Chains A and B, each alone.
Chain A
Amino acid sequence: MNQSGLRPALVAIGAFGALLASLAVVITLTSDHAEKRGVVAAISLAIMAAYIGTGLFAWSRRPHNRTGALMTAVGFAYFMCVLTASDQEVVFAIGVLLSSVFLVIALHMVLAFPTGRLATAGLRRLMATAYVAAVVMQLAWMLVTPDVCPDCTPRPPDNAFAIWDAPTASDVIMIAASAIAAALLAASATVLVRRWRAATRPGRRALGPVLFTGLALVATLSALLAVQAIDSSGAVVDVLSIPALLAFAALPYAFLAGLLRNRWSRAGAVGELVERLGAARARLTETLADAMGDPTLTLAYWLPQAQRFVDSSGRTMALPVETDPFRAATLVERDGERIGALVHDRSLCEEPELVSAVAAAAALAMANERLEAELRARLEDLSESRAKLVEASLAERQRLERDLHDGAQQRLVALSLQVHVARAKITSDPDAAAAILDRARDELRLALEELRELARGIHPAVLTDRGLGAAIAGLASRFPLPVQILTTPLARLPTAVEAAAYFVVSESLANIAKSAGASHATVRVARQNGMAVVEVHDDGCGGASMEHGSGLRGLADRLAGLDGRLEVVSPPGGGTTVRARIPCESS
């Protein structure tokens, strides 16, 4: 049922409840056999109004929580109990048959708290047994017991469901039913106690009212059962019944009071929270944890640039998922901008108003703290990229070693052989020796070219000597496609920045030559707002990404070492722009 359809439905249920409650009063007051009619009518009215009223209230506040519905059901089920006051035989019999159902529903409500759903298969089996016992055994007992209340005066109507009089069978069923009821009550008490022990602090606060009233209910019923076992004379039961019923009628009010007290204390807690946040920003997590009553609370800060959450020490963290049974996250936003998230005990989801009030109050302080978290995250990134740089430089050395070994060194070995051979032939066959030396000279030229290219790849001398403009012009002139150099800075930049910018251009151009299907490229290097901005654009097929090009990945790491950032804009069919921003405040 959706939110808008719920309210009229609840109003209708409430109206029907009011109607039944009036009917209950009429039935009780007009009863021939009921004792203390006025008191009983008042108690009936009180119980029905209490359960249906508070149930509907809870239902409207937490539409997805079944507790409210169960409370309402208790109120309606109590009406069946009232029917035992009827002078009509069949109505009286139906009342007797269903007279204990409201107690079972109440037990159900307590055991299903806080979600209104029975959490385990064991609990579901327990409740199923209770419902069956309450109706089926009662029916069996009624079939063999014509007089359901031998000591009652004045006499109630005859049991319309009785088919024969079997006092022994009647006693056996009664004893069995009592035994089952005792077992159910003991199991329920155990469950409640165990749950209380396992609960976290905020969980206990939420469970408290219902757990205690639930235990009180179980205790009362146990006492009734015990008294009945000792002496089943109606008078004693009646005397005990009235205070028991009064207590039962008070239970939903206790629950309601708990709910309201929670709201009041919440308002107080948030006011105090705002004050404390201003005073002690450093202890933000503790302060928020206090306000929410959840010592396990942690804060997650959102880094919009990196698109990830980090904890207060800057380490990347993941938020708990929807289905996590223990933890939940509430996003903290400020002016529509995501600041971070509160990661808390899942039981706090039962108090959405509290959590959202804390989240709202925390937004400002968290926005401030986020700056610090961001700084820590960057430090964390930095040490990570430093490690990557070390790795990269190691890999680079290995590549250099391989290139030297496979290229220049092999050629030099071949050369030395050729010189030996030529030397041996120089007198016997001077022409052959000359031909060999010619080949050796060519080989030598190639070896020199290879060495030169290798050295340039490590660090171009012209970059050190003449700066970016000259070095990029050199790159462009060696490039197989037209390269237009739009701007390069006139003044020199810090050495590391120049080197990084140079490699952004050379790597990007290399990528363009390899794959982009471009007809030309443009290069722009400019100094803007304390940043060196390097842009290499081509008119190729696009679709490039950092994930695919290991070269670009390596560049990003190299830039991260300088606190720089690399971005690749490459819509399919729209060309590729590689843009690097490298901070360079001083030169």
Chain B
Amino acid sequence: MRVVVAEDSVLLREGVVRLLQEAGMEVVGQAGDAEDLLRKVRAHKPDVALVDIRMPPTQTDEGLRAAATIRAEQPQTGVLVLSQYVEEAYALELLAENAEGVGYLLKDRVADVERFVDSVRRVGEGGSALDPEVVARLVGRRRREDPLSVLSPREREVLGHMAEGRSNHGIAEALVVTERAVEKHVTSIFTKLNLPPAEDDHRRVLAVLTYLRST
């Protein structure tokens, strides 16, 4: 898997690069700002671009804007945005109407190497990776009349994993159950929440997120 890493902190960038290389990925380019990133992505056409949300010159959201550009120009390149803060606004903007090949993670997640690498790989393969904290907030938000109350605790858990972008297989592994059991839960959730059926994992993410946002 070929990766371009954009991060203005050299220390962190080196760390991430080493980590990815150790996981068997090929880091084809490193960038310190958004312009550099776009140039290298255009040149190398990587499977995935790892992008820090705040970069020079303005240190605000150029990472996010660069991500949008990449997605528009090269849909085959996945974009995983790393952020210092978890903000639903960023995540939802990033996903927009297409969760294919998109990820949004808290920067700290880098420390959990296995999950981080898994997320990079998933985004590189056209899947999605949404930070558990964003999902927790969307699922756990206090509502005056909580529509999620129709779900069983286990179904809530599964819903959370779906929103993060995991496949049935991934969910089964995380919950230590069979894939069949997960499938049953997913069907039940879609029925109870009256959601339109979705075949791909990333479509499923979008359906779930759209639902969570609107309630």
Contacts and interface: CB of A to CB of B under 8 A. Distances in A.
On whether the two chains bind one another, the answer is yes
B116 interface: no
Nearest to A460: B85
27 contacts: A444-B111, A445-B108, A445-B111, A455-B84, A456-B85, A460-B85, A461-B85, A462-B85, A462-B87, A462-B89, A465-B61, A466-B90, A466-B93, A469-B89, A470-B87, A473-B88, A473-B89, A474-B87, A474-B88, A476-B141, A477-B88, A477-B138, A479-B142, A480-B142, A482-B141, A483-B142, A484-B144
A448 B108 contact: yes
Contact of A462 (B90, B137, B138, B144): B90
Contacts of A448: 108
B161 interface: no
Given A445-B108, A464-B60, A484-B144, A478 B89 contact: no
Contacts of A482: 141-144
Contacts of A479: 142
B204 interface: no
A481 interface: yes
Interface in A462-510: 462, 464-466, 469-471, 473-474, 476-484
A362 to B, nearest CB: 57
A461 B60 contact: yes
A188 B138 CA distance: 93
B54 A461 contact: yes
A63 to B, nearest CB: 68
A540 to B, nearest CB: 15
A425 interface: no
Top 6 A-B residue pairs of the complex, sorted by shortest distance between their CB atoms: A470-B89, A465-B61, A482-B142, A462-B87, A477-B137, A482-B144
Contact of A465 (B60, B143, B144): B60
A473 B93 CA distance: 13
Given A456-B85, A460-B85, A466-B93, 6 more contacts: A444-B111, A445-B108, A445-B111, A455-B85, A476-B141, A520-B142
A465 to B, nearest CB: 4
A441 interface: yes
Contacts of B89: 462, 466, 469-471, 473-474
A456 B87 CA distance: 11
A480 B141 CA distance: 8
Contacts of A444: 111
A505 to B, nearest CB: 15
Contacts of B64: 465
B179 to A, nearest CB: 30
Contacts of A449: 108
A397 interface: no
Contacts of A478: 137
Given A456-B85, A461-B84, A461-B85, A481 B108 contact: no
B84 A452 contact: yes
Contacts of B88: 470, 473-474, 477
Interface of A: 441, 444-445, 448-449, 452, 455-456, 460-462, 464-466, 469-471, 473-474, 476-484, 520
Nearest to A462: B87
A460 B90 CA distance: 13
A456 B141 CA distance: 19
Contacts of B141: 476-477, 482
Contacts of A483: 142
Contacts of B111: 441, 444-445
Contacts of B93: 466
Contacts of B87: 461-462, 466, 470, 474
B54 to A, nearest CB: 7
Contacts of B108: 445, 448-449
Which of A444, A456, A477 counts the most chain B CB atoms within 10 A? A477
Interface in B143-160: 143-144
Which of B84, B87, B108, B111 counts the most chain A CB atoms within 10 A? B87
Contacts of A471: 89
Interface string B103-136: 0000010010000000000000000000000000
Nearest to A445: B108
A86 B108 CA distance: 121
Nearest to A520: B144
Interface in B22-43: none
Contacts of A465: 60-61, 64, 90
Contacts of B84: 452, 455, 461
A441 B108 CA distance: 11
Nearest to A478: B137
Nearest to A451: B84
A483 B142 CA distance: 8
A481 B141 CA distance: 8
A477 B85 CA distance: 14
Contacts of B54: 461
A482 B87 CA distance: 18
Interface string B68-88: 000000000000000011011
A441 B114 CA distance: 14
B144 to A, nearest CB: 5
B137 A452 contact: no
Given A455-B84, A460-B85, A481 B142 contact: yes
A4 to B, nearest CB: 65
B163 to A, nearest CB: 14
B208 to A, nearest CB: 16
A452 B142 contact: no
Contacts of B61: 465-466
A462 B141 CA distance: 19
A246 to B, nearest CB: 97
A477 B141 CA distance: 6
Nearest to A474: B87
Contacts of A481: 142
A466 B89 CA distance: 8
A478 B143 CA distance: 12
A481 B88 CA distance: 18
A444 B112 CA distance: 12
Contacts of A474: 87-89
Nearest to A464: B60
A478 B89 CA distance: 13
Contacts of A460: 85
A474 B88 CA distance: 7
Contacts of B143: 482
A449 B86 CA distance: 11
A516 to B, nearest CB: 15
A484 B108 CA distance: 30
A453 B1 CA distance: 35
A303 B84 CA distance: 48
A473 B89 CA distance: 8
A474 B89 CA distance: 8
B131 to A, nearest CB: 13
A452 B133 CA distance: 13
A479 B89 CA distance: 16
